[in-house]
Amino acid sequence: MTNESPSHHNSTLTISPLIANRTRDIGGTPSYNQPLFPSPLAATPFRDTSESNSIRNLSTTKDNGSTSNLSAAEKLRLWRHDALMQHHYRTAEYIGDKVLSLTDDPNDAFWLAQVHYSNGNYYRARKLLSFKNLDATSVSCRYLTVLCLMKLEKWDEALDVVGETNPFKNESQNIRNTDGGIKLEASLCFLRGQIYSNQNNLERAKECYKEAVLVDVKCFEAFDELIRNDLLTPFEEWELLSLLDFSDVEENSELIKLLYTSRINKYLNTEKYEEAQIILKEDYNLKQNTDVVLGKADLFFIQCKFQNCLELCEEILKNDELNFQVLPIYLACLHELGGKNKLFLTAHKLAQHYPKKSITWLAVGIYYFAIDRISDARKFFSKASILDPNCGQAWIGFAHTFAAEGEHEQAIAAYSTASRFFPGTHLPNLFLGMQYLQMGNLTLASEYLLSSYSICSVDPLLLNEMGVIYYHKNELTSAENYFTQALLASKNLGSDSKAWISVHANLGHVYRKTGFYSKALASFEKVLKFSNNDSNIYSAIGLIYLKAGDVTKSIENLHYALAINSNDPVAADLLKRALDENCSIDIQSHTNNDFFARSKDIFSANNATYAYRQQQANKNSLKTPLTNKHRNINQINNRNTLNSSIDQVAADLINGEDSSDDGDDVMELSD
């Protein structure tokens, strides 16, 4: 074959499948040292043609670039195949029909069926393949038949054709593939998994996908379904990776393993992922590759480094502004960072160019959710989930719309559906636990949080919620343990400490209740270092100082609390009691007028200090560390705090940031 550069005079025959030796293909184990489908020039696909004239003719054609030695039928086959490659489907169908009439060859029937399938004529392709019982005598024809039936949404019939189990499991799983293609057995396992998935038999679908990628690691479609649809837990993902046989890809074994490593869950084995990233960038020069960059963005996302994640996503989108693989995480980052204008622009472009894609209506739903048009967001999240039932973001977004309006029952129903559809992710069960916690049902909240914990035990948000449960149960030792684990997990993930200030706040309340005032103050100081606009934190500090007998500092911090929220009934009542306590202490040395004058001066000074702190807070304003978790806040009820003891006031204190919500939300923690 010549090595001349292609010119505009060349046809697409240079990419046509080559003739190859073929063994008999009668529904048995496929031959893995041959191409997946027969060549368009092969006279008969069901018997050995190694000595046929077609082989000799093709050899001549390859050597001199001429088709003069080919027969009339072979020239028609080349015409048909070139028309198919150039998407001239009417031409391919017209010539393919004539070739089949002339030769009555099963191979020509197969390629005409390929033309029908490519042109969207799935029913005609199915009928043609049933001609002379081809779908029963050829594995290749069986594969195409199943594809046609799936397009026609005839799932039961498709399952009957492909079989409920892999008939080649014990015969060919260890046969080496020498031609570089994907084993047909693996492709059939993948189709079997898709059928089960559409029948909502997710457990069987998961097993079929796993079998497909175990049979042939090159069946990336199956691997992608497992990872993208969260069918495996983080532990199961890493376990599957360790079982895969990468030897079939020979020299590329290390590369493919590293690429697969960059795709799987980042909660576990972060060190291995980082190592894979370094090798891919330095040894394979894939620094700018979309999948490599996206893997790093995904790590930033679970670390709550949303700005870093957004920058990497935008780097990818510069060259491919509507990359479907990048858009879900990009949209989530925009929501977290309040990028409403960019959300609108992205949603508008998607609606203009891809009105039938689920990602389009997911983007529209996120935009409306960001501008608090909850009912509109719910409508578009629902539309996205209908277009693609495997769109986990749409299901969770749909549930969030109910949670945002305090519709707990509807939110629970939607989260439960997401939990069933995506058994490998811990988030739906986590959200279910949060909903039941809001409803005061600690038993069900504990069950769902423990279920989430069994899937992923290293998510700081989940560990924080577990601590909240035990706090409400007054099991403070367990609560302290989970809050400490949450801080450790965030450190191991490399998460920004600012993202988990709510954990420090909750841990401070545990120390406050157990009487470790110095530890409690240290935890609250960490919160104030990053966010000093929470009146509840100042109220809690004021209570600690009041119980410790330092009335002056108590009054100072309670003034801070009232400067932030002048209508806080708890802070106001505590301040009244602190002032009364201070008055009783100083009654012999100061008159009431002097005391209140000094109190007024302190309040003015506190206001000035608060104004300075508020400026600093605005400079370091933080987004919530959580992703796509929103609901209404239980409003603080005015309570009768006119009791005689400080302990009773503490029992009514509302304090601590609620990790179930945005950074401005609070949870009830009683003394």
Residue 600 scores a pLDDT above 70: no
Contact predicate 644/573, CB 8 Å: no
Contacts by 651-655, CB closer than 8 A, 24 or more apart: 652/570, 653/536, 653/539, 653/540, 653/543, 653/570, 653/574, 654/536, 654/570, 655/505, 655/509, 655/536, 655/537, 655/539, 655/540
Q: Out of 37-51, 73-87, 91-105, 127-141, which region has the weakest mean confidence (pLDDT)?
A: 37-51
Residue 517 scores a pLDDT above 50: yes
Residue with more model confidence, 13 or 525: 525
425-455 tens-digit pLDDT: 999 999 999 999 999 999 999 999 999 999 9
Residue with more model confidence, 649 or 457: 457
Confidence of residue 462 (pLDDT cuts 50, 70, 90): very high
Residue 1 scores a pLDDT above 50: no
Residue 409 scores a pLDDT above 90: yes
Residue with more model confidence, 641 or 120: 120
For residue 247, what pLDDT is reported? Answer: 87
Q: Out of 223-232, 318-327, 408-417, 581-590, which region has the weakest mean confidence (pLDDT)?
A: 581-590
For residue 579, what pLDDT is reported? Answer: 87
For residue 9, what pLDDT is reported? Answer: 40
Q: Count CA within 13 A, CB hemisphere, residue 410.
A: 13
Residue with more model confidence, 458 or 599: 458
- Across the range 337-351, mean pLDDT stands at 95
166-179 tens-digit pLDDT: 887 765 556 666 66
For residue 167, what pLDDT is reported? Answer: 80
Q: Out of 75-79, 538-542, 644-648, which region has the weakest mean confidence (pLDDT)?
A: 644-648
Same fold, 9-152 and 496-671: yes
Residue with more model confidence, 605 or 203: 203
Contact predicate 564/548, CB 8 Å: no
For residue 548, what pLDDT is reported? Answer: 87
Contact predicate 25/140, CB 8 Å: yes
Q: Out of 137-151, 383-397, 524-538, 637-651, which region has the weakest mean confidence (pLDDT)?
A: 637-651
Confidence of residue 587 (pLDDT cuts 50, 70, 90): low
Query: Which amino acid does the sequence have at 629?
Result: K
For residue 171, what pLDDT is reported? Answer: 59
Residue with more model confidence, 68 or 322: 322
For residue 334, what pLDDT is reported? Answer: 95
Residue with more model confidence, 577 or 91: 91
Q: Out of 245-249, 260-264, 317-321, 632-636, which region has the weakest mean confidence (pLDDT)?
A: 632-636
For residue 173, what pLDDT is reported? Answer: 54
Residue 148 scores a pLDDT above 50: yes
> Candidates 1.10.287, 1.10.600, 1.20.120, 1.25.40; correct CATH number of 9-152?
1.25.40
- Across the range 631-638, mean pLDDT stands at 33
For residue 360, what pLDDT is reported? Answer: 96
For residue 187, what pLDDT is reported? Answer: 93
CB neighbourhood size of 198 (10 A): 16
CA distances (Å), origin 101, targets 73, 135, 187, 424, 524:
11, 19, 31, 52, 84
34-78 tens-digit pLDDT: 333 445 554 444 433 333 333 333 333 444 456 678 888 999 999
Task: Give the CATH number of domain 496-671.
Answer: 1.25.40.10
- Round to whole Å and give the CA distance between 109 and 373: 55
For residue 66, what pLDDT is reported? Answer: 60
In 3-state terms the chain splits into helix, strand, coil percentages (rounded to 5) of 65, 0, 35
- Round to whole Å and give the CA distance between 259 and 410: 40
Please give the share of the chain, as a percent, with pLDDT higher than 90: 57
Domain map of the chain by residue range? 9-152, 496-671
Residue 614 scores a pLDDT above 50: no
For residue 498, what pLDDT is reported? Answer: 74
For residue 647, what pLDDT is reported? Answer: 53
Cβ-Cβ contacts under 8 Å for 592 (sequence gap 6 or more): 583
- Round to whole Å and give the CA distance between 502 and 500: 5
Token digits of residue 20? 């190859």
- Round to whole Å and give the CA distance between 127 and 143: 14
- Round to whole Å and give the CA distance between 501 and 507: 10
- Round to whole Å and give the CA distance between 671 and 654: 9
For residue 65, what pLDDT is reported? Answer: 52
For residue 169, what pLDDT is reported? Answer: 73
Residue 239 burial (CB < 10 Å; 0-12/13-18/19+)?
A: exposed
Hunting for tokens 């600012």 — which residue is that? Answer: 498
Confidence of residue 324 (pLDDT cuts 50, 70, 90): very high
Q: At what angle do helices 327-337 and 358-370 cross, to 10 degrees?
A: 0
- Across the range 150-161, mean pLDDT stands at 95
Query: Which amino acid does the sequence have at 362?
Result: L
- Across the range 622-650, mean pLDDT stands at 37
178-193 tens-digit pLDDT: 667 888 889 999 999 9
For residue 144, what pLDDT is reported? Answer: 95
CA 536 to chain centre: 34
- Across the range 598-626, mean pLDDT stands at 42
For residue 369, what pLDDT is reported? Answer: 96
Residue 621 scores a pLDDT above 90: no
